[in-house]
Chain A
Amino acid sequence: MPSGRVGAGMRPRGLLAVRMRPRRPGLTAALVVLGAMVALAAAAPLLTPYEPLATDTSATSLPPGSPGHPLGTDMLGRDLLSRMLHGARTSLAVGITAAAVTVGAGTLIGGLAAVAPRWLDGLIARTADVLLSLPLLVVVLALAAVAGPSTRVVIAGIAVTNWMPVAMVVRAELRSLRERLYVRAAYGLGLTRRQVLWRHLLPGAAPPVAAIAAFEVGHAILTESTLSFLGLGIPPNQPSWGNLLTEAQSHLLTGEWYTVAVPAAAVIVTIVAVNLVANAVGGRSEGRSW
């Protein structure tokens, strides 16, 4: 399926070059936004003089634009800009780590299914089917409740409930690639199984996996923020976008809308940007879905 696109005299320049056509303002904007997010999150301690947990009783509930506190402060006098930036660190790190673990596990399981004997392949496929039929966010939620709130539990929960699509795509890709002429030629030329795997099979399966991986990042950020919002994700003392929203919830009715709006906007913008990139990597231009 994907390699059909590669033909027609086009030489891929690098892994994703094939799939990213030039002049796509949406994609460019998404990449710029994500780049900025990551840079801001990485540079958080340099950008704000305040500790995200430091309280200041002389400056509580300041509105945005107050001197020294561009986004204002919360009820305990904690600087919201600092909390946002440190929250971005947590949310992005958890999202990316969880997606990486998910894709890694999915690739391993899918690769195993592709080469496994029939019964094991069938067992993996059935397990994936059954898991996909369960309301997984609810299961993660219960898992987090039983295990107690912690970053590690969030990441593990996301991986355990999301590896299936990755595994299914990897398995299908490997199975189809294995029969391709160039792969059989590689065997014919005397390459070992390992060489074929690393030089031909895995690079061939990379583009569709990259697309899923990008979606998984968005999904992981969504799941993390939901779990944290419910008090079952990142421990409440650590700022993350979901935790900020939990605290802000009670301020909503008293008119301090910005405490909700800022982290909410960050979550939405990030997920939309990630999905835009994922769509582009997946090779389907957005806006052309029908």
Chain B
Amino acid sequence: MALPLIRRAATALAVVAALSVVCFALLDAAPGDPAASVLEARNGGRPPAAADVARLRADMGLDEPLPVRYARWVSAAVRGDLGTSYLTGRPVTETLAATAPWTALLTAAATLLSAAGAVAVGLVAALTRRAWLRRAIDGLSFVLGGLPGFVAALLLLYVFTAATGLLPSGGVGRPGEPVTPYRLLTHLVLPATALAFGHHFGIYVRLVASGVGRLRDAPHVDNARARGLPRRVVTTRHLMRPGLVPFTARLGVSVGTLLTGAYTTEVVFSWPGMGRQAIDAARGQDYPVLVAVVLVTGLVVVAANLAAELVVAALDPRTRAPGRPSMPTDPHPTPGETAHAR
């Protein structure tokens, strides 16, 4: 167990290093003078004096050679300093701290919904003897595969807000009103649903259905049934526990999918999260905020992938055996499916 673990951790570190290079490159290549932008934001929009800009440039180390700038940026980022917003003049970390919890809430709710829905629908598809039902689920998951997240969000917004007025259109409540759990829930339902049942949902259903479906007539399941175990026990212990391993592995990747999807969902529903912040920053050319969100998203994704691998290793003894290839997460990998999941 130790050696594969070290290898996985090393891969994760390499990904983090690549991520830091990408983020720094974006920041460094962004148009405009960072020092001038920061000073302008702090002065409330007045163009700063040339001498001040020059002083801050020296302070920020902007005139140093590229490797030095990169090293400075990394060491500052590690200490929690991600720069200053060009729009507000405040530290980027403050913005992140204000928005990240909302994104975490939305993503967590969507992950729960998505996983519960996929397991339920996938189990039905795998265990039913009705061909039409299976085909209907298959068709539905295929159509969902062509549904961009923001289109799903717009459709839900129309049906539940514009046409029927059942649910609020966005945000997390009226300004000035206290955020009660009930009010929060009513505001959370639509974005979480839109995020949960986007184009990745069909892939999850397929993973559950194929993972469990292959075991439906497996010897150990027949044996369990023959021993007279209750159906519920056979389903949960003998079908779901081994059959859901590929799906569990995929759930780690899904965190990245959902975090990415949260960008558009948050924009459509005016959800005050990181994603909307990033898009606002992109539109307002507030590059430090944008890059910080990219960095945080990337770090969370890397952590989630690593965690999923560890969970799978705990669930599936075969992946722990030394020298043997780890179990494929998807028995029928289709290139486009992985492409879309990203």
Which residues of A line the B interface, CB within 8 A? 126, 129-139, 141-146, 148, 161-162, 165-166, 169, 208, 211-212, 214-216, 218-219, 222, 225-226, 229-232, 245, 248-249, 252-255, 257, 260, 264, 267-272, 274-276, 278-279, 282, 284, 286-287, 289-290
Contact = CB atoms under 8 A, between A and B. Distances in A.
B145 A272 contact: yes
B26 interface: yes
Given A133-B305, A138-B260, A289-B210, A222 B138 contact: no
A216 B260 CA distance: 19
Given A257-B163, A287-B135, A229 B283 contact: no
B298 A138 contact: yes
B142 A245 contact: no
Main DSSP-derived SS at the B contact region: helix
B180 interface: no
Contacts of B30: 146
16 contacts: A134-B18, A137-B263, A138-B263, A141-B294, A146-B31, A212-B339, A215-B334, A232-B279, A232-B283, A249-B154, A253-B157, A253-B162, A260-B154, A272-B143, A275-B142, A278-B336
B329 interface: no
Given A131-B18, A272-B145, 8 more contacts: A126-B14, A136-B342, A211-B335, A225-B151, A252-B154, A286-B142, A289-B138, A290-B209
B11 A129 contact: yes
A145 B282 contact: yes
| B18, B161, B213 interface centre (most CB from chain A within 10 Å) | B18
Interface residues of B, number: 71
| B22, B31, B148, B281 interface centre (most CB from chain A within 10 Å) | B148
Nearest to B131: A287
A229 B138 CA distance: 29
Contact of B339 (A219, A232, A264): A219
B15 interface: yes
Contacts of B169: 253
B301 A141 contact: no
B204 to A, nearest CB: 13
Nearest to B268: A249
B301 A225 contact: no
Interface of B: 11-12, 14-15, 18-19, 22, 26, 29-31, 125-126, 135, 138-139, 142-143, 145-151, 154-155, 157-158, 161-163, 169, 199, 206, 209-210, 213-214, 256, 259-260, 263-264, 267-268, 278-279, 281-283, 285, 287, 290-291, 293-294, 297-298, 301-302, 305, 332, 334-340, 342
Contacts of B337: 215
| B161, B162, B283, B338 interface centre (most CB from chain A within 10 Å) | B162
A132 B256 CA distance: 11
Which 10 A-B pairs rank lowest in CB-CB distance, beginning with the nearest?
A: A215-B336, A271-B146, A145-B282, A272-B146, A290-B210, A212-B335, A290-B213, A133-B15, A130-B18, A137-B260
A279 B138 CA distance: 13
A282 B334 contact: yes
A126 B7 CA distance: 13
A198 to B, nearest CB: 24
A130 B15 contact: yes
Given A134-B301, A145-B282, A165 B335 contact: yes
A287 B158 contact: no
A230 B279 contact: yes
Contacts of B138: 286-287, 289
B150 A142 contact: no
B339 A165 contact: yes
Nearest to B275: A138
B275 to A, nearest CB: 9
Contacts of B301: 133-135
Contacts of A282: 334-336
B241 to A, nearest CB: 18
Nearest to A102: B339
A274 B340 CA distance: 13
Contacts of B155: 260, 264
Contact of B22 (A134, A249, A269): A134
Nearest to A146: B30
B290 A145 contact: yes
B335 A229 contact: no
A274 B335 CA distance: 13
A219 B146 CA distance: 9
Contact of A268 (B22, B147, B293, B342): B147
Contact of A289 (B154, B206, B287): B206
A137 B151 CA distance: 16
Contacts of A253: 157, 161-162, 169
B336 A229 contact: no
B247 to A, nearest CB: 12
Given A229-B150, A230-B267, A252-B162, A214 B336 contact: yes
Contacts of A142: 26, 278, 282, 290-291, 294
A200 B162 CA distance: 58
A126 to B, nearest CB: 7
B282 A232 contact: yes
B153 to A, nearest CB: 10
B298 A290 contact: no
A169 B293 CA distance: 32
Contacts of A225: 148, 150-151
A60 to B, nearest CB: 20
A232 B282 CA distance: 8
A220 to B, nearest CB: 10
Contacts of A254: 162
A143 to B, nearest CB: 7
